[in-house]
Amino acid sequence: KNQVEQSPQSLIILEGKNCTLQCNYTVSPFSNLRWYKQDTGRGPVSLTIMTFSENTKSNGRYTATLDADTKQSSLHITASQLSDSASYICVVSPGMYSGGGADGLTFGKGTHLIIQP
Amino acid sequence: SQTIHQWPATLVQPVGSPLSLECTVEGTSNPNLYWYRQAAGRGLQLLFYSVGIGQISSEVPQNLSASRPQDRQFILSSKKLLLSDSGFYLCACDRDSGSPLHFGNGTRLTVT
Contacts of B41 in chain A (CB under 8 A): 109
B43–A contact, CB cutoff 8 A: yes
Q: Note whether B32 contacts A107, CB cutoff 8 Å.
A: no
Contacts of B43 in chain A (CB under 8 A): 4, 89, 107-110
For B54, residues 6+ apart whose C-beta sits below 8 A from its C-beta are B68, B69
Q: How far is CA B100 from the centre of its chain?
A: 17
Nearest in space to A34 (alpha carbons), one of A92, A112, A109: A92
Per-residue pLDDT of chain B (112 residues; tens, 9 = 90+): 789 999 999 999 999 999 999 999 999 989 999 999 998 778 899 999 999 999 998 877 678 999 999 999 999 999 999 999 999 999 999 887 677 889 999 999 999 9
At position B89, the amino acid (one-letter code) is: Y
Q: A95: pLDDT confidence band, cut at 50, 70 and 90?
A: low
The span from the CA of A111 to the CA of A6, in Å, is 7
Which of A105, A106, A109, A112 to mutate to test binding with chain B, by most B CBs within 10 Å of its CB? A105
Q: Give the model confidence (pLDDT) of A22-77 as tens digits.
A: 999 998 778 889 999 999 999 999 999 998 889 999 999 999 999 999 999 999 99
For A69, residues 6+ apart whose C-beta sits below 8 A from its C-beta are none
The span from the CA of A19 to the CA of A64, in Å, is 12
Nearest CA in chain A to B51: A100
Cβ contact B10:B67 at 8 Å: no
Contacts of A49 in chain B (CB under 8 A): 98, 100
For B61, residues 6+ apart whose C-beta sits below 8 A from its C-beta are none
Q: Residue A63: CA atoms inside 13 Å, Cβ hemisphere, count? A: 11
The pLDDT value recorded for residue A99 is: 45
